[in-house]
Amino acid sequence: MDRALQALELLGSQPLTAVQVAAALRIDARTSRRLLSRLTEDGWLKRSDDRTRRYSPTMRIVPLAAQVVRRDAVSGLAMPHVRAVSAELGGPAHLMAPSYHSMLCLVHDDGTMATAGLHELVPCHASAGGKALLGWWSEWRASVLSSPLSRATSATIVDPRTVLADAAAEVIRGYATEDGELRAGERAVAAPVFDGDGAARWALCGSVPGSRDLDRAGRLVAEHAGELTARLAALR
């Protein structure tokens, strides 16, 4: 069971062969083939028809993940804070979590209703949510910076040294800003939300429309993120 879950998590980032999965999980290649064949038979994986015979997850896992997000206590506790950020800043707001080299929106409020589920997936280095967490999560940051960073717009920061400098500054400041780096003309702010063990696991984010001051918006979001962190700590 443990190996099956590890294989699913590993293949979530990119398709791999049985030999590559065996190397990553440190298991025998024959064991890897048996495991992957069983997961394919059960509908969790699919195998490419070309000579590489690479495995990747199917959509079967998506409804399961969506139900987990909708029922999770973190989503419920975050809901009022996401609503408040949306109302106070006058734009969409989100709770986001890292997903490999991206950020996944788990709770979204478009100004009319907050919903929990699987929403938008965006590059972490180009979004305020990702930038808010890169300074706190060293292993994830190293993984992100190990590959070339892609441009979403002409303003996207792709130089690893600049990303590192920004991450360090955002830890000191307590929030991150985004100014046209994900979508031209759009701005946002985000602050880290910590779990009961003090690890930064999520980011509370808000779009900043018009000419509103980014730093003032950042402090507002950081305040709500601190309140959500305190509520999560009380669950322990």
Phi first, then psi: what are they for 47, rounded to 5°?
-120, 135
Domain edges within the chain: 2-58, 64-233
* CATH code matching the domain that covers 64-233, chosen among 2.60.120.10, 3.40.50.11750, 3.40.50.920, 3.30.450.40: 3.30.450.40
Q: Which residue has the tokens 């590559």?
A: 20
pLDDT at 196 (0 to 100): 86
Q: What is the pTM of this model?
A: 0.86
DSSP state of 151: P
Check if the beta carbon of residue 85 is closer than 8 Å to that of residue 108: no
Whether the Cβ atoms of residue 85 and residue 207 lie closer than 8 Å to each other: no
Query: Tens of pLDDT along the chain (236 residues)?
Result: 889 999 998 898 889 999 999 999 999 999 999 999 999 999 999 999 999 999 999 999 888 888 888 888 899 999 999 999 999 999 999 999 998 899 999 999 998 888 998 888 999 999 999 999 999 999 899 989 998 999 999 999 999 999 999 999 999 999 999 999 999 999 999 999 999 889 999 999 999 998 889 999 999 999 999 999 999 988 86
Buried b / exposed e across 104-130, counting CB within 10 Å, b at 16+? bbbbbbeeeebebebbeebbbbbbbbb
Q: Tell me: domain 2-58, CATH 1.10.10.10, correct?
A: yes
Q: Are strands 45-47 and 93-99 parallel, antiparallel or unpaired?
A: unpaired
**pLDDT value, residue 74:** 92
